[in-house]
Amino acid sequence: MTFDDLVPVWRSPGNAADPAQIERYKASIVSRLSKEYRDFLWHIGAVAALTIFLAGGFVQYLRGGGAFDLQREWGAIVFLLLPIGVAAIFVRGFIKHRQQHPRYDLSIMDGLRALIDENRLARARLRVSMSVLTVAMALLPVITYQLQLVGKQRPHEAASMLVVFGAVYLFAMAGQIWKYRRRLLPENARLQELFRSYEQ
């Protein structure tokens, strides 16, 4: 039984679930929340690993005697710090959510509250992610300009960089907008309705 199976059964006029059914419904909610938590940790771990890899490469470049002028190349540092700041904000929100819902497995009501809050968090994370991604893309021309000023990038390389990153930006934004509008918003409406019907 999946979480989506719970909705029509719960709304059924003849619904009179026995204890075994209630346990199955509760297990479905717990399973759904566990998956959401695992997915979040996997994504944040992947972003952190990529950022650490890039930061490590930069540090290695400096240790190897690579030239870097902070006053003229600050854009690259800001670009590198953005995902670190966002990851820290997301992890803080995740920890706060877990503290507010420590035992979401106790009842269906507790599980629904945790699911609704997780959905709210997921929507907030997407809004922040899209905003920061847009800021990063706006910063990219500054970075390419700075790299050309210090002789580390040629004009055709800068153009290629902008095209590649621009394509990635459009693809990422389209995916996030689709997830926000087609999955998270409808899911929030279903969860709110289910919660209200449970309260009655």
Token pair 């930006």 in the structure block, residue: 169
Task: Give the Cβ contact number of residue 114 at 10 Å.
Answer: 24
Confidence of residue 65 (pLDDT cuts 50, 70, 90): confident
- Once rounded to an integer, what is the mean pLDDT over residues 126-140? 96
The lowest-confidence range among 111-120, 153-162, 166-175, 189-198 is 189-198
CA distances from 99 to 57, 92, 94, 117 (A): 36, 11, 9, 12
Confidence of residue 110 (pLDDT cuts 50, 70, 90): very high
- Once rounded to an integer, what is the mean pLDDT over residues 101-105? 93
42-58: buried (b, 16+ CB within 10 Å) or exposed (e) per residue?
eebeebeeebeeeeeee
pLDDT recorded at residue 19: 78
Confidence of residue 99 (pLDDT cuts 50, 70, 90): very high
pLDDT recorded at residue 42: 96
Confidence of residue 75 (pLDDT cuts 50, 70, 90): very high
Confidence of residue 45 (pLDDT cuts 50, 70, 90): very high
pLDDT recorded at residue 23: 87
C-alpha–C-alpha distance, residues 36 and 144, integer Å: 37
pLDDT recorded at residue 3: 58
The residues, ordered by sequence, that sit 6+ positions from 80 with a Cβ below 8 Å of its Cβ are 51, 54, 55, 58
Token pair 């999955």 in the structure block, residue: 183
pLDDT recorded at residue 16: 55
Residue 33 and residue 114 in contact, taking contact as beta carbons nearer than 8 Å: yes
